[in-house]
A and B are shown apart, each in its own frame.
Chain A
Amino acid sequence: MITWEFIIGHLNYWFFIVLMMTGLYIVIAKGNLVKKVVGLNIFQTSVFMFYISIGKVIGGTAPIFPMDMKINNDVVYSNPLPHVLILTAIVVGIATTSLALALIVRIREEYGTIEEDEIFIIEQELDFSNTRSNTDKPIGHF
């Protein structure tokens, strides 16, 4: 059933799956918040590559019209739509990453650490002490 052709023919999927699982593993297994974000990035990038690879048409060239606009119907073009979609997804990914990093900076300011287990201990204490952490900072008008 699994022949050499099958393995080679699905090469882009193997790469996609390996990268994706690597990223997902880092997100789950690493305790450092920055490493989690890196893992998330690898995970997202694998999906970008998957999209771009499915837009490939065998023998296809870049989907750009010639300068004189004389379109030769024999020329095969790759599918540009997945590329366009991924441009959008990359923008979303960048926004997510920057927001995550900004949150990490704030977490570092408040907790003094970006290690998940240390944060967990601090939060456990807060949960049991039944108080709010920032009650000494009055910001309300009431």
Chain B
Amino acid sequence: MSLSISHSDSFSLIEQLPILQILVPFVSAPLIVFIGNRKVAWWIAFIASLISLLIAINLLLLVNDGSIISYHIGGWAPPIGIEYRVDALNAFVLVLITLISSIVVPYAYKSVENEIPEQHHTLFYAAYLLCVTGLMGVVITGDVFNVFVFLEISSLASYVLISLGSHRDKRALTSAFNYLIIGTIGATFFVIGIGLLYMVTGTLNMVDMAELLEGKSSSSTVRSAFAFIVVGVGLKLAIYPLHIWLPKAYTFAPSVITAFLAATATKVAIYILIRFMFTIFRPSFLEELNVLDLVILPLSIAAMIIASLIAVFQKDFKGLLAYSSIAQVGYILLGISLMSERGLTAAIIHIFNHGITKVALFMVAGAYVIKRGGSLLTDLQGAGFTMPWTSTATVIGCLSLIGIPGTAGFISKWILVEAAIENGKWPLAIIIIFSSLLAVIYCWRVIETLYFKNGDSKIIVNEAPLSMLISIWIASLACIYFGFNTDTTISISDLAAKMLYLTSLNSY
């Protein structure tokens, strides 16, 4: 496969897409604050999300043939200048982020009205757009220090957004604070790693750095840089023993934010991990250190089993979903640690499929919060009859989470099992299936509470607001759609994985 890298200095709209991707939400955020009107704020957030989605889809179509778009900021050519570099992997993750954002914002209107006091609404949308900007910036940039800056933009915004849940439950404040402490430690570790890499290579551009790191794999500086980066990013993506911040943050954050962050924030951290492991350090370095087999693989198995077991005993629907998220991160890391193209494909496709599944489920949880006053399982009793549309969506989401054939979750788990067997690691396939069985148990607990425990004997249909239902159903139908129409997602993940394994990425 040959690589064509396009770059030109013309100012046509299509050439400027990579920077517009960041600028649209980034400029909209202060605009919201200046206008200061609640309704206008929502419209701006919605339109900015839609425009970002269009740009991301456009970028994906441009790189779908395996080409790379390199955008030089301010006309400074890399490695001196900052480069935005879009390939199949970034574009796919960008589409995921913007798609989730476009689904979540319409849902936010009623949910935010219910959960957050009115005077905070405009600032809420501003922080939300900054969070989107940061996440997209992390993904699109080809400069390692830029990754840190955007990561902190998104993290700071998400601490604020999580703490806004304090008007419903004061524990949101302490969970946001804990997340802040752990997240900052993670980001600082990440910066130390970057500093060590800069010491060795003298560059910050990812491609340039990868080239200069060639043959330096035995250097202890490079090795400690790798360790710092993996631990730093690991704190952000909640690798199993580093996940302490996640369940509480997700449980007490406003429902919209939980839905958005669960589907994007950890996924973006996984993207950073993949990018550093495969583009910068290269698979040969990973094989030499054997770090994936010795560290990531056992931890991902622990996540899949222990986090799923904890999920079974949760009292809160959101908490249950949060632990299940940690388990699902385990699946993705398992795919990465198989060290094969197929395994990486499974990881990338699971990033997407789990994203849409979790956004559907957390949005459903938010609908219960509005109508039932909370997301504790005791609040949900009998909701299957009073909120039939919401509950049907819950069932679809749960099926996709388990990985029943015909849903998006099945496709990624299928490829993961296939990859494990292909690598001759068939015990892993059994572990994946066992973990899925645990998912059956905790999902059944939810479905049982919804349909078989009747809270009230009288059944009065009291559905969630229409705008929320539409978002929930778009996400749920996407779970089914991507379970049948698998060509697009599989071909893109496959292409992304192939390009990561291609060693000849060395030119601009």
Contacts and interface: CB of A to CB of B under 8 A. Distances in A.
Interface of A: 24, 27, 33, 36, 40, 43-44, 47, 50-51, 54, 81-82, 85, 88-89, 92, 95-96, 99-100, 103-104, 106-107, 110-111, 119, 123, 126, 130, 132-135, 137, 139-142
Contacts of B185: 24, 27, 40, 43
A131 to B, nearest CB: 8
Contacts of B145: 85, 88
A95 B156 contact: yes
B184 interface: yes
B173 A103 contact: yes
B319 to A, nearest CB: 10
A141 B114 contact: yes
A23 to B, nearest CB: 9
A138 B371 CA distance: 13
A137 B167 contact: yes
A44 B190 CA distance: 11
Given A40-B184, A47-B191, A119 B370 contact: no
Given A33-B177, A133-B171, 5 more contacts: A27-B181, A43-B188, A81-B204, A88-B145, A96-B180
A85 B156 CA distance: 18
Contacts of B167: 134, 137, 139
B188 A133 contact: no
A82 to B, nearest CB: 7
Nearest to B189: A47
Contacts, number: 104
Interface in B124-182: 145, 148-149, 152, 156, 159-160, 163, 166-171, 173-174, 176-177, 180-181
Contact of A140 (B148, B166, B184, B370): B370
B192 A47 contact: yes
B200 to A, nearest CB: 11
Interface of B: 113-117, 145, 148-149, 152, 156, 159-160, 163, 166-171, 173-174, 176-177, 180-181, 184-185, 187-188, 191-192, 195, 198-199, 204, 315, 370-371, 373-374, 376, 378
A123 B169 CA distance: 11
3 closest cross-chain pairs (CB), A and B:
A140-B114, A110-B170, A92-B152
A54 B198 contact: yes
A132 B168 contact: yes
A47 B192 CA distance: 7
Contacts of A106: 163, 166, 173
A142 B191 CA distance: 46
A95 B171 CA distance: 22
Given A88-B149, A92-B149, A130 B315 contact: yes
Contacts of A40: 181, 184-185
Contact of A134 (B170, B177, B187): B170
Contacts of B114: 139-142
A85 B190 CA distance: 14
B170 A139 contact: no
B171 A44 contact: no
B202 to A, nearest CB: 8
Nearest to A98: B156
A17 B9 CA distance: 45
B177 A104 contact: yes
Contacts of A135: 373
Contact of A133 (B169, B177, B192, B195): B169
A119 B117 contact: no
21 contacts: A24-B185, A27-B181, A40-B185, A43-B188, A47-B188, A82-B198, A92-B149, A96-B152, A99-B160, A103-B173, A110-B170, A111-B170, A111-B174, A119-B174, A123-B174, A132-B374, A133-B169, A133-B171, A139-B167, A141-B113, A141-B114
B198 A110 contact: no
B313 to A, nearest CB: 13
A116 B159 CA distance: 19
A50 to B, nearest CB: 6
A142 B177 contact: no
A88 B187 CA distance: 13
A19 to B, nearest CB: 12
A139 B371 contact: no
Contacts of B184: 40, 44, 96
B188 A44 contact: yes
A50 B376 CA distance: 47
A103 to B, nearest CB: 5
B428 to A, nearest CB: 34
A92 B150 CA distance: 10
B229 to A, nearest CB: 14
A110 B173 contact: yes
Contacts of B176: 103
A103 B159 contact: yes
A130 B156 CA distance: 30
A50 B148 CA distance: 17
A140 B115 contact: yes
Contacts of B163: 103, 106
